Amino acid sequence: MNTHHGTHGNIGHSRAGASDIALAQLLELDAEVLAPYLTELTGWLADLARPAPVRILDLGSGPGTGSLALAHRFGSAAVTAVDISPQMLHRLHKQAAVHGVAERISTLEANLDEPWTETGEAGSYDLMWAAAFLHHVADPARTLAQAFENLRPGGLLAVSEMDFFPRFLPEDTGIGRPGLEVRLHAATNTLPPHEWTDQLQDAGFTVEERRPFEIRLDRTQAGPALNDYAQICLAKLRSHATDVLDADDLAAWDALLDQTQPHSITRRGDLGVRTTRTTWIARRP
Ligand SMILES: C[S@@+](CC[C@H](N)C(=O)[O-])C[C@H]1O[C@@H](n2cnc3c(N)ncnc32)[C@H](O)[C@@H]1O
């Protein structure tokens, strides 16, 4: 496992570089817009994780929105954020300083597909967090086995996944035929949501909860980052739609994504967010 403790470092050794920076921006906007959900989720976790966790491991932390939320929720915990991307960890360091929790968050640059030799002694974590991560690893069963090994008996693993890409637009956008976003999702979201219950049990965990969070936020609840978040998400979906939508729908999408147009996603006042995220709470017996 390639590791780097305590500092972002290693910025020159890049696996993906620019795409990681773009993903970090998207994940930060995601956390800003969905802050009410993240607050509810960590509050729920605080009810289940008693006594309050002291050592927390954030698996595939990205830019650390989960690490920050956990550091705020559990005021005396030390959080270790692990990610393969130095760009993500660099961003996390900056954000931890901005949030005033830098002394309680350390980073570990590591490939979690390899044996976890640097995460510390076996059985030493009280809580692990794996948000939008488990589906990235080569062998989830092996990753879950290592998570199990690194948790103390009684410790919790929280696994969270996005069931489907967020939706933002009203049925009739004023551009093209109504129902455009529904058609885009139907054409591009073709895989079923991730399901981890069996694999968690196979790894030895007791699955205590499996909770889908139905997120419905209007523009006031979502806050000022909503339009930028929607623009980035919908541009990403559009990039998968070229061969699956007809020419009229593609032209309508391009008009919506054109920031110079009055109806564009970045200028609209009628956006909201609708999505579902599922969280599993698994305990090491
Ligand atoms: C979709 S992002 C989620 C980030 C963060 N958990 C969040 O919810 O915002 C997935 C993250 O997993 C990291 N990742 C993917 N494969 C990895 C691996 N084998 N070892 C460590 N990190 C990995 C990526 O670099 C990326 O930051």
- DSSP for 148-165 reads HHHEEEEEEEEEEEESS-
Residue 107, beta-bridge partner list: 81
The residue among 258 and 7 whose pLDDT is bigger is 258
Q: b/e string for 207-238 if b means 16 or more Cβ within 10 A?
A: beeeeebebebebeebeebbbbbbbbbbeebb
- The predicted model gives 17-22 an average pLDDT of 82
- Distance in Å, CA 80 to ligand 1 centroid: 14
How far from the centroid of its chain's Cα atoms is residue 123's Cα?
A: 25
The residue extents of the domains of the chain are 18-164+191-217+276-283
Q: What is the per-residue pLDDT for 191?
A: 85
**What fold is seen in the domain 18-164+191-217+276-283?**
Rossmann fold (3.40.50)
pLDDT tens digit sequence for 194-227? 999 999 999 999 999 999 999 999 999 999 999 9
The rounded Å distance from CA 53 to ligand 1 centre is 22
Whether residue 2 has pLDDT greater than 70? no
Residues in contact with ligand 1 (CB, 6 Å cut-off): 27, 60-62, 65-66, 83-85, 88, 111-113, 131-133, 136-137
Q: Ligand 1 centre and the CA of 102: distance in Å? A: 20
% of the chain at pLDDT higher than 90? 82
Question: Measured in angstroms, how far is the CA atom of residue 171 from the centroid of ligand 1?
Answer: 33
Looking at the chain, list the stretches that DSSP marks H as alpha helix, in order from N- to C-terminal side. 18-33, 35-48, 65-73, 86-98, 140-150, 180-188, 197-202, 219-222, 226-238, 247-257
Partner residues linked to 99 by β-bridges:
none
pLDDT of residue 7: 31
- Determine the pLDDT at residue 119: 78
Report the nearest-CA residue for atom 12 of ligand 1.
60
Pick the closest to residue 213 from 136, 131, 125, 278 (CA basis).
278
Token pair in block for residue 31: 């956390």
Tokens 């933002």 sit on residue: 168
Q: What is the pLDDT of residue 11?
A: 27
What mean pLDDT, rounded, does the chain reach? Answer: 91
What are 54's two structure tokens?
Answer: 């002291």
Pocket test for ligand 1, best of 136, 232, 236 (most atoms within 8 A of CB): 136
